[in-house]
Structure 1
Amino acid sequence: MGLLKALLAAGALALAIGVSGTTSAFAVRTDLVLGVTLEPPHLDPTAGAAAAIDEVLYANVFEGLTRIGPDGEVLPDLAESWTISDDGKVYIFKLHSGVKFHDGTDFDASDVKFSLDRARATNSVNAQKQLFAAIDTVEIVDPATVKITLKHPQGAFLYNMGWGDAVMVAPESAATNKQRPIGTGPFKFQNWAKGSSITLVKSDHYWGDPVFLDKVQFRIIPDPAAAVPAMLSGDVQAFPFFPPDAVSQLQDDPNLQVEVGSTEGETILAMNNKKKPLDDLKVRQAISYALDRQAIIEGASGGLGVPIGSHMSPSSKAYLDLTGEYPHDVAKAKELLKEAGMPDGFKATLKLPPPDYARLGGEIVASQLRDVGIDLEIIPMEWAQWLDQVFTKKDYDLTIVSHTEPNDIDIYSRRDYYFNYQNPEFNKGINELNLTADETRRDELLEKAQKILADDAVVGFLFELPKVGVWNKHLQGFWKNAPIQANDLTKVKWTD
């Protein structure tokens, strides 16, 4: 009996060890280190134009009445449903009940009114204030019901309410969201180590479907030379917006998955249309003819960008292929400069923000323009400088930037926008677009708008920024495409 007991005990011990080993070996992780190229200037999506803000916070910490899905579709979010009046001017939103902000305060209709009134106020600092321009009144029907009346029908209103700039904030915390964001999302803010990382943790009291991850650290890695070893070593497990020019170094790693998708990022050589000599159409056309898009794509996006000739994503059904309007033609560019009274060209500045597409692309653009007599002084800038000097003060000649906001062709109609461009015919078309819900007519108006921008050579259209995602092969739930500027982690999880 003693021997039998010993054998049984040994077998039980071996079984226990085996079970323990199996559990340890195949335990599913719930943490994630995710790489991002740029550090946000602050953490309030309703008070800044930088895409890096939404890349950390959209759908994770902050939510809106609606949200944009992975295919660009409009989905319910804090509003579980809505009705629209026959004249298209009155929207009644029914809100989810039991929703709380991360500081424990309740979310209800008063927060919707506060958020929308704040965004459209005269002193609003919202970077996309025009999203709310059609709103006439916001009324609280009851704590779970909001009535929004528009000045006129707006075909894109539900879509606009899904932007990061339209997320809901609370009056108790709105003033401090830049440093300590308080939202209603499935993750709450834990820590920001400036220059290093931003950490989010799972909210224990989230109103919606629970997320799989308990903790996410957004690791700030601006240098592609550092991003590659971070991914190869496993120190960083996902990099959803990986630098395109460096991805070739990762494609053969069997532990990594590489996905190449599309974005809404129209990458342009922006020009100050009121600054001489760029106020001359022939000069802007000369610059457009001087650009060799394919060479820029090869050097600035690892060959993965898609050439564009207008401010519209090629993935849009309203996209008009105008890449043939200004083919690379050095002789034509020189001829136009001569007609503009500058046969020897001119000097100008090219102010470049930090992303590789801008810095690498800038070197190539400067070389191409030099071939036609235009001498560019390259001025590298950090984002804060660029936003202040170029975007806000319009103190620039040329710059390269990717506009990643969705369906934003209307920016060319804004009176004080940094392009300094005004065309009454274009503005009229955009105004009609804002009043139109019929999809066929909207497509017609968008095609006309694209043609006007190309004819006026407002900017040099370069390429659509590719979305190159790299992550551990055991991760799933990341978006392949980027219809908005976001790293939505609500469905991301580790698998065995």
Structure 2
Amino acid sequence: MRPIPAAAWIAATAATALLVTGCGSSDEAGAPHKAAAPKADGQDINARPVADLRQGGTLTMGIDQWITQYNINNVDGQQGDAQEIARTVLPDLFDSDARGAHHVNPDFLLSAKVTSTSPQVVEYRLNPKAKWSDGKSLSWHDFQAQWRALNGRDKRYEAADTSGYDQIAKVEQGADAHTVKVTFGSPYADWQRLFDPLYPAAYYDSPAAFLKSWSEKVPVSGNAFKVGKYDKTAQTVTLVPDPTWWGRKPKLDSIVFRVLDSAARTDAYLNKEIDYTTALLPEDYKRLVKAPDTDIRRGARWDEVHITLNGGRGPLKDLRVRQAVQHAVDRKGIQEAFAKDLSFELKPLNNHFFMPNQQGYTDTTDGYADFDAAAAAKLLDAAGWQDNGAGKPRTKGGERLTLDYVLSAGGTAAQTDQAELVQQQLGQVGIKVELKKVPANDYFNQFVNRGNFDLTSFRNVDAVYQSMLTPVFVRPKGGNLFQNFGSVGSPKIDTLLHRAAGTTDPAAAARLYNQADHEIWRLAHSIELYQRPQILAVRKGLANFGAEGLADVDYTKVGWLKK
């Protein structure tokens, strides 16, 4: 989950990273050829040696909203674009490859390894050249401050995810000033996902610093790029190379992130205002595939589309109503409507943790996600909602059974189509759905992140560690929802996720995640719809960028080919 809210990694939005081997393009005039889904380790990034790239140039990308929080460990920083920018300007300790395997980034770490298993101890050897933009060296103090902010013991920090950090017993200096020793109180399999990215202690060591220092700005950076300019009027954030950078010099002169509604991006690309955009929707694909000097790069990243049900308020507090909604939604109908003109095979999704092209994937729905209007009606009857006949909302105690479905006004036509389909489907069983479009800049910060909805749909992306999804499914604590915006959970799920995160055998861990998923479906936490395919239009001369698969983007290698 490069945490689309995301997520992870959240996106209704546009967290960007990708996957796969290029497939043959479809016949422009006829129905698109349904290319098979790519393998999980495929890529299509126009991979080239850095020597083939010219020095200079700008990469311009569209993002969904103005970034209000660059602390991605705070709930408001979980939006995918914020995560992408943060990881580009802050120390990135580990990089994943196309298979999702993780490796130390030598610009920041000379090594990182488990030196003891009882207790589990991880030793990080920092690159002595690695420094913050204020001139201070990276140190164990940064690790300690991040652990204290994110271990959940001080609720004032309002951490988006405490998992993993809450299993650490202590963080201290190792053998020298460039060594960090992290001791766990209980084993944690995905220890490499912690402290990545790393934040500076000076802007993380108090709740006030954690919450306020990163509001609409990055006070201190520590990577090849830094923020050169924030332009709220133009709605752009511009990154430029940091002259104090100790690693490989970037090829690009700048990276510009520009706020653009999803519906405006095809025209922006064709007008050469941005350098890549999604070509997933048929109406966009048909225009973009004809654009001069354009590559269509395809993939199947860890990317799921779902509907979140809010069990924290209104009629959906009742499990029977949530289960009725789950049965009333025709997932196959939604998939078929979306995939009708796609040039890519659309995979149905019956698991919250694994994609269909991943090891560990199995159908965990147990019938709870079956389209069954009769079962939905029976559950609503049992919950006391009276049937008033076809086309009329059910009632109880004088109240109509009404749910709101919150949408971003900056979303795509496909997102609106999906909401209207759900509205029709739920109407068939007597649930009235009111569509509520809200400003794009408010969608996450004021609605999703606050649990201010009954139904909503966004994407979780890049959950290359299953434990990254823990905050999506654990029970909220007090006013902190973590990323469980619908507040649906149970002690059983919490226990299974905790056990899975501490299980170092991948097959055994997968079994535990899938056990938790059976319970997640039973509680009607969220309705998985499909694995979203990735089809991108990218400028032909742009190298080492595009469909990344499970890999991270190395922006020092991204650039424009020499003429």
Q: Cα–Cα, structure 1 residues 328 and 106, in superposed 2: closer, same or farther, change >3 Å?
A: same
- For the residue of structure 1 that corresponds to 2:192, the secondary structure is helix
Corresponding residue number in structure 2 for 1:341: 384
Q: Cα–Cα, structure 1 residues 157 and 61, in superposed 2: closer, same or farther, change >3 Å?
A: same
* Alpha-carbon distance in 2 for matches of 1:360, 1:320: 29
C-alpha deviation, 1:450, in angstroms: 1.8
- For the residue of structure 1 that corresponds to 2:84, the secondary structure is helix
- For the residue of structure 1 that corresponds to 2:117, the secondary structure is coil
- For the residue of structure 1 that corresponds to 2:113, the secondary structure is strand
Corresponding residue number in structure 1 for 2:110: 80
Q: Cα–Cα, structure 1 residues 36 and 244, in superposed 2: closer, same or farther, change >3 Å?
A: farther
> Out of 386, 399, 424, which is 2:456 matched to?
399
Corresponding residue number in structure 1 for 2:331: 293
Within a 5 Å distance, the mapping from 1:46-57 to structure 2 comes to 46-47=73-74, 48-57=77-86
Q: Cα–Cα, structure 1 residues 475 and 440, in superposed 2: closer, same or farther, change >3 Å?
A: same
- For the residue of structure 2 that corresponds to 1:328, the secondary structure is coil
* Alpha-carbon distance in 1 for matches of 2:231, 2:98: 30
* Alpha-carbon distance in 1 for matches of 2:215, 2:118: 38
Corresponding residue number in structure 1 for 2:349: 308
Corresponding residue number in structure 1 for 2:474: 413
C-alpha deviation, 1:185, in angstroms: 1.0
Corresponding residue number in structure 2 for 1:177: 214
Cα shift readout 1:183-230 (whole Å, capped 9, x = no counterpart): 211111111112521100112222223322121111221142x21122
Corresponding residue number in structure 2 for 1:261: 299
Q: Which sits farther off after the overlay, 427-436 or 412-421?
A: 412-421
C-alpha deviation, 1:390, in angstroms: 4.3
> Out of 258, 265, 290, which is 1:227 matched to?
265
Corresponding residue number in structure 2 for 1:145: 179
> Out of 120, 124, 131, which is 1:100 matched to?
131
C-alpha deviation, 1:392, in angstroms: 4.7
Partners of 2:423 and 2:433 within 8 A in 1 = yes
Q: Which sits farther off after the overlay, 392-401 or 138-147?
A: 392-401
C-alpha deviation, 1:147, in angstroms: 0.5
Partners of 2:365 and 2:518 within 8 A in 1 = no
Partners of 1:134 and 1:150 within 8 A in 2 = yes
C-alpha deviation, 1:472, in angstroms: 0.5
1:371 aligns with 2:438: no
Partners of 1:88 and 1:154 within 8 A in 2 = no
Larger helix percent: 1
Structure 2 unaligned residues grouped into runs of 5+: 1-52, 389-393, 395-400, 478-483
Cα shift readout 1:433-467 (whole Å, capped 9, x = no counterpart): 12211112111112212222223322222223333
- For the residue of structure 1 that corresponds to 2:202, the secondary structure is coil
> Out of 453, 467, 479, which is 2:520 matched to?
453
Q: Cα–Cα, structure 1 residues 394 and 131, in superposed 2: closer, same or farther, change >3 Å?
A: same
Cα shift readout 1:457-489 (whole Å, capped 9, x = no counterpart): 2222222333333210111212514548x7652
* Alpha-carbon distance in 2 for matches of 1:333, 1:483: 38
Partners of 1:307 and 1:323 within 8 A in 2 = no
Partners of 2:128 and 2:137 within 8 A in 1 = no
* Alpha-carbon distance in 2 for matches of 1:443, 1:244: 33
* Alpha-carbon distance in 2 for matches of 1:276, 1:297: 28
Q: Cα–Cα, structure 1 residues 433 and 328, in superposed 2: closer, same or farther, change >3 Å?
A: same
1:462 partner amino acid: L
Task: Give the RMSD, CA atoms, in angstroms.
Answer: 2.9
* Alpha-carbon distance in 2 for matches of 1:386, 1:37: 10
C-alpha deviation, 1:243, in angstroms: 6.4
> Out of 136, 139, 143, which is 2:169 matched to?
136
> Out of 391, 406, 422, which is 1:351 matched to?
406
* Alpha-carbon distance in 2 for matches of 1:212, 1:323: 47
Equivalent pairs: percent with the same residue? 22
Cα shift readout 1:407-437 (whole Å, capped 9, x = no counterpart): 2442222334332223233222112112211
Q: Cα–Cα, structure 1 residues 459 and 287, in superposed 2: closer, same or farther, change >3 Å?
A: same
Corresponding residue number in structure 1 for 2:144: 113
1:327 aligns with 2:370: yes
2:404 partner amino acid: T
- For the residue of structure 1 that corresponds to 2:315, the secondary structure is coil
- For the residue of structure 2 that corresponds to 1:414, the secondary structure is coil
Partners of 1:71 and 1:481 within 8 A in 2 = no
Q: Cα–Cα, structure 1 residues 447 and 40, in superposed 2: closer, same or farther, change >3 Å?
A: same
Which has the higher Rg, Structure 1 or Structure 2?
1
Cα shift readout 1:319-351 (whole Å, capped 9, x = no counterpart): 223468333333443343334433343212222
- For the residue of structure 2 that corresponds to 1:171, the secondary structure is helix
Partners of 2:62 and 2:259 within 8 A in 1 = yes
Partners of 2:92 and 2:198 within 8 A in 1 = yes
C-alpha deviation, 1:316, in angstroms: 2.8
* Alpha-carbon distance in 2 for matches of 1:29, 1:87: 50
2:59 partner amino acid: L
Corresponding residue number in structure 2 for 1:124: 157
Structure 1 unaligned residues grouped into runs of 5+: 1-25
Corresponding residue number in structure 2 for 1:278: 316
Corresponding residue number in structure 2 for 1:192: 230
C-alpha deviation, 1:134, in angstroms: 1.3
* Alpha-carbon distance in 2 for matches of 1:341, 1:79: 60
Corresponding residue number in structure 2 for 1:238: 276
Larger relative contact order (CA 8 Å, sep ≥ 6): 2
- For the residue of structure 2 that corresponds to 1:270, the secondary structure is strand
* Alpha-carbon distance in 2 for matches of 1:365, 1:236: 33
Partners of 1:308 and 1:322 within 8 A in 2 = no
Partners of 1:412 and 1:419 within 8 A in 2 = no
- For the residue of structure 2 that corresponds to 1:129, the secondary structure is coil
C-alpha deviation, 1:400, in angstroms: 1.7
Q: Cα–Cα, structure 1 residues 256 and 308, in superposed 2: closer, same or farther, change >3 Å?
A: same
Partners of 1:28 and 1:495 within 8 A in 2 = no
- For the residue of structure 2 that corresponds to 1:451, the secondary structure is helix
Partners of 1:349 and 1:376 within 8 A in 2 = yes
1:39 aligns with 2:100: no
* Alpha-carbon distance in 1 for matches of 2:267, 2:505: 50
1:193 partner amino acid: D
Cα shift readout 1:218-267 (whole Å, capped 9, x = no counterpart): 1221142x21122123232223x566463342123341112232333332
Q: Cα–Cα, structure 1 residues 169 and 361, in superposed 2: closer, same or farther, change >3 Å?
A: farther
